[in-house]
Amino acid sequence: MKIETMLRDIWQSLLRKPVTELYPFQRQPAPERLRGKLTWNPENCTGCCLCVKDCPCDAIELITIDRANKRFVMRYDVGRCTYCAQCVQNCRFNCLGMSNDDWELAATNKAQFTVYYGSEEDVQSILEQRPEAGDQSDE
C-alpha cells in the first residue's frame, strides 16, 4: 500500500464515527425473537415432563411437590441450556418461553446458573432438601 493511500485511510478513519457501541453503557433493544433465559408459567403445567425428556442437554428438571394440586418446581440450568427452544415448542400447554430481555446471563459463580422456578414456599422446601443448590431461585 502506498504511503499516501495509507495516510488518507488513517485520516478518514479518524474523522469517522465509531460503528461499535459502548456496551454495556449503550444498548440496542434485543430482537423480538431472541432466545434468552427460559421462562416457565406453572399455571397450566400438568407435570407431563415432556419438556424434560425433550431437552438434549439435561438442563431442566421438574420436581413434583403435589401432583394432585399441580404443585411443581422447575430447576433450570442456564449453563447447560443451548437455547434450542425444543422444550418451548413441545410443551402443549404453552408454559415455557424464552425471554428476549433477559439474556445477559454470564456469571463468575457456577451456582448462579441454577435457578428454581415455582412458588416461594415450594422452592424453599426444595432448597432445604438440597443444601448444595445454594440460594438461587426465581419465581
Q: The cell 443444601 sits on which residue?
A: 131
Least distance between ligand SF4 and beta carbon 49 (Å) = 5
The number of C-alpha atoms within 13 Å of 120 and in the hemisphere containing its C-beta is: 0
Stretch binding ligand SF4 (CB under 6 A), from 63-71, 93-101, 116-124, 127-135: 93-101
Cα 59 to Cα 52: distance, rounded to the nearest angstrom: 8
Q: What H or E segment, with its residue span, contains residue 13?
A: helix 3-15
Asked if residue 50 binds ligand SF4 (CB under 6 A), the reply is: yes
Asked if residue 45 binds ligand SF4 (CB under 6 A), the reply is: yes
Strands (E), the chain: 38-40, 60-66, 71-77, 96-98, 114-117
Asked if residue 73 binds ligand SF4 (CB under 6 A), the reply is: no
Asked if residue 48 binds ligand SF4 (CB under 6 A), the reply is: yes
Cα 61 to Cα 68: distance, rounded to the nearest angstrom: 19
Return the C-alpha torsion angle 45, 131, 124, 114, nearest 10: -50
Least distance between ligand SF4 and beta carbon 45 (Å) = 3
Asked if residue 119 binds ligand SF4 (CB under 6 A), the reply is: no
Cα 82 to Cα 80: distance, rounded to the nearest angstrom: 6
Q: Of these, 51, 73, 115, 123, which contacts ligand SF4 (CB under 6 A)? A: 51
Rank residues 9 and 94 by Cβ distance to ligand SF4 and give the closer one: 94
Q: Of these, 63, 81, 115, 123, which contacts ligand SF4 (CB under 6 A)? A: 81
Interface positions with ligand SF4 (CB under 6 A):
38, 45-51, 54-55, 57, 59-60, 62, 81-87, 91, 93, 95-96
